[in-house]
Chains A and B, each alone.
Chain A
Amino acid sequence: MTTQSNLQGKTALVTGGSRGIGRATALALGQAGAQVIVHYGSAEKEAAAVVAEIRNAGGKAEKIAADLRTADGPHLLAERVRAIIGDRLDILVANAGISKAASIAETKVEDFDALFAVNVRAPYFLVQQLLPVMCKGSSVILLSSLAAHAAVGNLSAYSATKGAIDTLVKHFASALGERGIRVNAVAPGVVPTEMSIFTKTDAGRDYTLGMQALKRLAAPEEIAAAITFLASDQARWITGDTLRVDGGSKL
């Protein structure tokens, strides 16, 4: 059974859209009919491939580079997005993120700051800078993580950035509700992408399946399907929520 979201005529930005969950999301939004802006940090070739795949299927897509590690990165990205889509952004998927495993003792200040810059500061100011072009019915989806809800791996600093996302979702949803803008998060579990390369090892796979109710690894497309649902008008009364798509991890 499938439910088909219709995003015909809508504009969408997916940050970190060249790889992993972002790539699957850009493709899913494109397939549902949205015009997709694929943001990337450094993976230009991969971003171009995503754009080509959407266009080859008859959709509309563009790629934009921006360095979200820098303080003005979100502002520059927002400017470039507005130059392409004009005065209306329907869907913002703030997916770009970085991860670094380290014990508490090993965590360095510069790594801590970089994690918060990309995972928290960038989505915060991207939402701020794109607010003028969001309107009634616009949907913002931030990326949280299972790590925000349970201690998994050596990921305390990374996990704190995702906890911040869950907090922002509630505050953004409450503040933007009167404009009819919805804000939600999707919290994946461990998804076998480049960011979670350890799932390719036996130990990583066993660890992941050990905490999941469903005994198989997720596909990025399964996270993208939840994001696409939240982006659509089918989710028109859902805001302020973090939807966990983690195979029933740590229940």
Chain B
Amino acid sequence: MSNPVILITGALTGIGRATALGFAKIGARLVVSGRRPAEGKALEVELQRLGAEAVFVQADVRHDEEVRRLIDQTVARFGRLDAAVNVAGTEGQPGLIVNQTAESYAATFDTNVLGTLLSLKHELRVMTAQKSGSIINISSTYGHEGAAYASVYSASKHAVEGFTKSAALEAASSGVRVNAVAPGPTDTGMLDRFTGTPENKAALVSGVPLGRVGKPADIAQMIEFLASDAASFVTGQIVSVDGGKSAG
């Protein structure tokens, strides 16, 4: 398929941004979404300069009506939706379980879990009707491992993996595939906030067999693969892209 229509939530920074730039280079038509209009407009212009047909749509994935509008505007603009990449996510407020609150839980789960549910809901509405499509969620190594000091984030990413497999089962009969990418430590603003100091970040590398943290573009390549026809028989999978971190 040439010039596929791709939607990316959480597109303004990190993995979402690298994914948008990667798809722009292979001729995709793009809807990039996020909460901050100034940055969104700047990304839209940057993607257009790369030759891509691209539009920024402001949306907060925590609100059903905003996600509905995002998906409807995508279809209104481009007539279809070939792949959706649900990157919008937050690290929340890392810390010991004994210090967590209903508020810190909600701050993480509203974006990572409710946001994934609402994105899937409206993306599947369009894709099952058109009988094709590929959805890629973003999990984490912590989506299937525990994480001291990041329990709420870890639990939220476990939920993303549950949604991914269940959505794959619900959507398969319509020819729609749903997978997740589970990045290891990736060089983004989120990792900087997570680790706090350059020393902490450098220490992470010792646990990665390939000896470096990931680049957002490394993750984007797997997302491109899962979106493409090359992955036509891959569904319901959680694919680790982590330099070997989870292999030990």
Contacts and interface: CB of A to CB of B under 8 A. Distances in A.
Contacts of A237: 184, 210, 214-215, 218-219, 241-243
A135 interface: no
Contact of A239 (B168, B209, B230, B235): B209
A3 B165 contact: no
A247 B244 contact: no
B244 A174 contact: yes
A240 B233 contact: no
Contacts of B82: 1
A25 to B, nearest CB: 13
B42 interface: no
A241 B240 contact: yes
B172 interface: yes
A56 interface: no
Interface in A180-223: 180, 182, 189, 212-215, 218-219, 222-223
Given A174-B244, A251-B165, A251-B168, A234 B230 contact: no
A225 interface: yes
Contacts of A243: 234, 237, 239
B224 A3 contact: yes
Nearest to A215: B173
A41 interface: no
Interface in B198-223: 208-211, 214-215, 218-219, 221-222
A171 B248 CA distance: 8
Range for the number of chain B residues in contact with chain A: 35 or more
A248 B230 contact: no
Contacts of A226: 230-231, 233-234
Contacts of A218: 233
Contacts of B231: 225-226, 229, 245
A173 B247 contact: yes
A218 B233 CA distance: 7
B186 to A, nearest CB: 9
A3 B222 CA distance: 11
A80 interface: no
B69 to A, nearest CB: 26
Contacts of B228: 1-3
Interface string A229-246: 100001111111101111
Contacts of A235: 221-222, 225
B240 A240 contact: yes
B233 A223 contact: yes
A182 to B, nearest CB: 7
A178 B232 CA distance: 33
A169 B219 CA distance: 20
B12 interface: no
A100 interface: no
A56 B20 CA distance: 38
Nearest to A217: B233
A73 interface: no
Contact of A213 (B214, B224, B230, B235): B235
10 contacts: A1-B2, A1-B83, A3-B224, A3-B228, A214-B172, A226-B234, A234-B221, A237-B218, A241-B240, A244-B237
Of all A-B residue pairs in the complex, the 8 with the closest CB atoms, nearest first, are A177-B209, A240-B247, A213-B172, A237-B218, A248-B236, A248-B235, A170-B247, A225-B230
Interface of A: 1-3, 169-171, 173-174, 176-178, 180, 182, 189, 212-215, 218-219, 222-223, 225-226, 228-229, 234-241, 243-248, 251
Given A1-B83, A213-B235, A241-B247, 12 more contacts: A1-B82, A3-B224, A173-B209, A173-B247, A229-B230, A234-B221, A234-B224, A234-B225, A237-B243, A240-B244, A243-B237, A251-B236
